[in-house]
């Protein structure tokens, strides 16, 4: 063997294409078609070898541009390096370089072609016969496309080359069509499986949707959807996050707005669009919004396990979540309708009961106890503002030892409500204790709702309720409290007006002392309930001269000064009343005459020294006890009046006692 010849390894195959089963589901493009041709050519060569056909030469496959796709050189064929080069894949047989040959002739005439020995103009071909036969490719997406099966053969007197190449061409065509048909059958089978799966998913979606729409309980709807997703995708982990407004009775999680914790979940909730996060090991974290027609209520978070959801599966989960969202929304609307009816009945009942009570302190106790039950609160309190003293007082509470505690008007959450005139809701006091609160700290509470009690558009008090659990109160609770606090304000206003009217009825408008009829009523009761008591009658000396000399305005001023001195000298249990004109009566319950004399003397002395212009008072004192033969208001007043007459008679500015 000389240097320009080479021995090819037995049954070696030159190719630039490898069969890849992973793409058989793709469309029939040139790359896939070439893989079919390559696979079929290998089977064709193996068939020749298996049938022990004696072939001296080489076979190849070329496209209609003359470019070789694949070639095979049979064993023991010795040929020049020039032939070895033109049998390499991707080499184009150019007629201008290779001259007359069967491949170029076949491409030009689209028919079986044979070129013998010296008919070739390319020197390396002159020892051989070149043959080529066009092979049609029958495939729906490729119209009239062909390839060429060609051969370079040594002449053999015992072989009919034309018959051989024609027969082998038909054999290759059969193998190629068989492989294409197998691919189409497999593709059709997989498409049918996909359609069947899609149909099954649609049927499941229909049945689930039908079932969900028939349910009226939001918690049951959500629980069933989670279970259905787990049933359909048993290898997936499913969680549901709900916003606080839609907190269920089940043990589901709340939406977290911590971007560092779960930004995909937050984005799905805020934007209402599905979010897909790629994880390691081909896993996915899919955040699917629970959407209704009016809002997004939560997020389903699905983590796949060693599988990847295709677009249609993601779309199925999204549609399932949307069906659940609409069903959940309908259930919530029904629940809200029923709740609204219940709230209206409750408001009507509470308002009716509030309007029945005109006692402010009874009103506070009723409100505190009733609303604690309504909101299932652990603790509650009603606070009243005293704007004159800049204080806030706890008037009613179920918190031990806290009733009547006094705080600064700007202290704690009640101070915030007072400053803003708006209610507030605290979901977790432990996470943000920016406002100090004795109520929250004593009770170890974490949740709070509070609302102002407005009277004439001014904050008159605060109604406040707490719970030891975080995130306990909903915004529905908060809204309800705001509505009720408005009615509480109206009830308080009515009670305060009632108190004010009663006060005006029993109070002298000029001096601020009680009216005479009130003193009569109270002394009458005390004569029954007590064992003894004393009555002092004061009369301002020469009061007519004061009016004549200084005018009635200054006379009124003197009356106010004397009344103020008297009020400062007696106890809260004592009763001071304007008796008429310049006369003032003071009844001192459970007091002997000696004690009455001391009080009268203190008042007489202070009036003389503190009034401006200076005036004096005359005093008459009477007393009673159970030993008296006659006990009555008229008798007590008569005796005091006689003592007062005696004091005036003896020179005024003195005290006389009726024995």
Convert the pLDDT of each residue in 237-248 to its tens digit. Answer: 888 888 765 555
**Which pLDDT score is estimated for 14?**
40
pTM over 0.85: no
pLDDT at 538 over 90: yes
Rounded to an integer, what distance in angstroms lies between the CA atom of residue 23 and that of residue 25? 5
pLDDT band of residue 11 (cuts 50, 70, 90) is very low
Q: Three-state SS for 224?
A: helix
CB neighbour class for 462 (10 Å; exposed up to 12, middle 13-18, buried from 19) = buried
Q: Concatenated DSSP letters for 158-182?
A: T--HHHHHHHHHHHHHHHHHHHHHH
DSSP secondary structure code for residue 126 in this structure: G
Given the DSSP bridges, would you call strands 253-254 and 237-242 parallel, antiparallel or unpaired?
Answer: parallel
**Which pLDDT score is estimated for 621?**
95
Q: Sign of torsion, CA 151 154 155 159?
A: negative
Q: Sign of torsion, CA 75 80 81 85?
A: negative
pLDDT at 642 over 90: yes
Torsion angle of the four alpha carbons 442, 448, 449, 451, in this order, in degrees rounded to the nearest 10 = 40
**Which pLDDT score is estimated for 120?**
86
**Which pLDDT score is estimated for 245?**
59
* Residue 282 zone, left/alpha/beta (φ > 0; ψ -120 to 50; rest): left
pLDDT at 530 over 70: yes
pLDDT at 12 over 50: no
pLDDT at 259 over 60: no
**Which pLDDT score is estimated for 588?**
95
Name the residue among 585, 588, 581, 599 with its Cα closest to residue 623.
Answer: 588
Per residue in 448-478, pLDDT (tens digit) is 999 998 888 888 889 999 999 998 998 888 8
pLDDT at 200 over 60: yes
Instruction: Calculate the average pLDDT of the chain.
Output: 82
The H helix count followed by the E strand count for the chain is 17, 24
Per residue in 131-182, pLDDT (tens digit) is 999 988 765 444 457 889 998 888 877 778 788 888 888 989 898 888 888 8
pLDDT band of residue 397 (cuts 50, 70, 90) is confident
**Which pLDDT score is estimated for 449?**
93
For the segment 344-373, the average pLDDT, to the nearest whole number, is 74
- Domains of the chain by range and CATH? 5-184 (3.30.450.40), 215-335 (3.30.450.40), 357-500 (3.30.450.40), 507-657 (3.30.70.270)
């Amino acid at each position: 063997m000389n240097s320009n010849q080479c021995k090819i390894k037995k049954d070696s195959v030159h190719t630039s294409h490898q069969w890849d089963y992973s793409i058989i589901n793709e469309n029939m493009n040139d790359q896939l078609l070439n893989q079919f041709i390559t696979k079929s050519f290998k089977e064709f060569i193996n068939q020749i070898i298996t049938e022990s056909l004696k072939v001296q030469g080489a076979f190849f496959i070329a496209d209609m541009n003359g470019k070789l796709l694949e070639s095979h050189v049979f064993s023991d064929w010795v040929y020049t390096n020039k032939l070895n080069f033109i049998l390499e894949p991707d080499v184009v047989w150019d007629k201008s370089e290779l001259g007359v040959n069967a491949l170029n002739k076949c491409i030009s005439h689209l028919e079986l072609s044979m070129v013998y020995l010296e008919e070739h103009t390319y020197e390396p071909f002159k020892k051989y016969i070149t043959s080529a036969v066009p092979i049609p490719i029958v495939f729906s997406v490729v119209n009239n496309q062909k390839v060429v099966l060609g051969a370079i053969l040594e002449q053999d007197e015992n072989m009919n080359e034309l018959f051989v190449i024609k027969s082998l061409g038909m054999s290759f065509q059969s193998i190629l069509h068989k492989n294409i048909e197998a691919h189409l059958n497999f593709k059709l089978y997989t498409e049918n499986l996909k359609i069947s799966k899609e149909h099954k998913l649609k049927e499941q979606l229909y049945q689930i949707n039908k079932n969900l729409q028939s349910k009226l309980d939001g918690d049951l709807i959500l629980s069933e959807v989670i279970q259905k997703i787990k049933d359909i995708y048993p290898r997936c982990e499913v969680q549901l996050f709900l916003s606080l407004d839609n907190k269920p009775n089940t043990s589901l999680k709340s939406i977290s707005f911590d971007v560092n914790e779960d930004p995909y979940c937050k984005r799905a909730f805020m934007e209402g669009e599905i979010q897909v996060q790629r994880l390691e090991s081909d896993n996915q974290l899919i955040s699917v919004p629970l959407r209704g027609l009016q809002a997004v209520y939560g997020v389903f978070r699905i983590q796949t396990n060693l599988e990847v959801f295709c677009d249609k599966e993601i779309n199925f989960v999204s549609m399932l979540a949307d069906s659940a969202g609409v069903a959940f929304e309908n259930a919530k609307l029904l629940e809200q309708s029923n709740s609204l009816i219940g709230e209206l009945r409750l408001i009507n009942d509470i308002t009716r009961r509030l309007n029945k009570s005109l006692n402010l302190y009874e009103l506070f106790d009723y409100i505190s106890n009733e609303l604690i039950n309504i909101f299932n609160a652990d603790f509650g309190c009603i606070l009243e503002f005293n704007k004159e003293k800049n204080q806030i007082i706890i008037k009613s509470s179920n918190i031990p030892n806290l009733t009547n505690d006094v705080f600064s008007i700007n202290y704690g959450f009640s101070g915030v409500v007072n400053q803003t005139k708006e209610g507030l809701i605290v979901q977790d006091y432990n996470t943000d204790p920016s406002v100090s609160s004795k109520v929250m700290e004593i009770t170890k509470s974490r949740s709070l709702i509070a609302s102002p009690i407005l009277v004439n558009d001014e904050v008159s008090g605060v109604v406040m309720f707490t719970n030891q659990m975080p995130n306990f109160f909903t915004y529905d609770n908060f809204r309800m409290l705001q509505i009720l606090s408005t009615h509480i304000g109206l009830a308080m206003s009515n009670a305060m007006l009632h108190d004010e009217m009663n006060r005006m009825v029993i109070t002298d408008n000029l001096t601020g002392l009680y009216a005479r009829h009130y003193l009569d009523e109270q002394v009458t009761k005390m004569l029954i309930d007590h064992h003894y008591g004393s009555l002092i009658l004061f009369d301002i000396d020469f009061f007519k001269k004061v009016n004549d000399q200084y005018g009635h305005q200054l006379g009124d001023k003197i009356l106010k000064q004397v009344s103020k001195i008297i009020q400062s000298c007696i106890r809260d249990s004592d009763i001071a009343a304007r008796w008429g004109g310049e006369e003032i009566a003071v009844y001192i319950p459970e007091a002997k005459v000696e004690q009455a004399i001391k009080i009268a003397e203190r008042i007489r002395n202070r009036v003389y020294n503190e009034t401006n212009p200076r005036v004096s008072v005359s005093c008459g004192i009477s007393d009673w006890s159970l030993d008296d033969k006659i006990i009555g208001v008229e008798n007590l007043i008569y005796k005091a009046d006689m003592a007062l007459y005696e004091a005036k008679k003896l020179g005024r500015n003195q005290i006389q006692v009726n024995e």
